[in-house]
Amino acid sequence: MNHAWFVTGTDTNVGKTLVSCALLHALRARGLSAVGMKPVASGCHSTADGMRHSDAEALTAASSVSLEYAAVNPYALRAATAPHLAAQAEGVTISIDTITKTFVQLQARAEAVVVEGVGGWIVPIDATHTMADVAARLRLPVVLVVGIRLGCLNHALLTAAAIEHAGCRLAGWVANHLSNDADGALEGYVAALRERLAAPLLGEIPYMDEAHTDPAVAARCLSVETLLD
């Protein structure tokens, strides 16, 4: 049985990569072979082997199957800006057909595939398409990473509504703490979303020491059983 999910977030920089890598670790701990995919990445660095992105590298490090770079990240764009602008700057057209083919090939290589989006849910990839179209075409259940901070209720509820509007299914969400919540002041946000989001909370990841955000540690905060049911 093949499993796959699309990981989106309430914004850029809210922990999608950390959670995607943690999901890969949790799936592997359940005995599944698991591989990460980053279909579109902007803000790549140039290497002797070509353009590389730290998200794709982190996903590969968390995967149980090692593959050539382009199989994980088919669109590696240089400019650290919105993907459609980065693509435009290089004269690249992002093709959902190409992403779909790459994804299908990855599915043949592992029992589980975790696809990390870029930015938030409805980020444009060209003049007419967005990453939501990619998730819809791949027919993937969606995992929403909520960066717990002021404003996240609006962002999380808007994203959940847009996921439904795109005809996708929100399979679960993760509360990711982006700051130290020593006095528990941010727990009210998590509780508010528990009451308002129809999908299950897969786990709550505490704020970790910035230098030691370890996806294997974060994996222990996630319940993937809910996703595999």
Ligand X SMILES: Nc1ncnc2c1ncn2[C@@H]1O[C@H](COP(=O)(O)OP(=O)(O)O)[C@@H](O)[C@H]1O
Residues catalogued as catalytic: 38
- What's the longest Cα–Cα distance across the chain? 50
Residue 17 binding Mg ion, by CB under 5 A: yes
Minimum distance, C-beta of residue 221 to ligand X, in the bound complex (Å): 9
Binding string to ligand X for residues 144 to 183, with x set by CB under 6 A, is what?
Answer: --------------------------------xxx-----
Report the alpha-carbon distance of residue 197 to residue 40 in Å, rounded: 28
Nearer to ligand X, 69 or 207 (CB): 207
Helix (H, G, I), strand (E, B) or coil at 73: coil
Helix (H, G, I), strand (E, B) or coil at 47: strand
- Interface residues for Mg ion in 73-132 (CB under 5 A)? none
DSSP letter string, 179-209: S--TT-TTHHHHHHHHHH-SSPEEEEEPP--
Span near ligand X by CB under 6 A; candidates 63-71, 80-88, 133-141, 203-211: 203-211
Residue 9, token pair as written in the block:
């977030």
Minimum distance, C-beta of residue 89 to ligand X, in the bound complex (Å): 20
Residue 11 binding Mg ion, by CB under 5 A: no
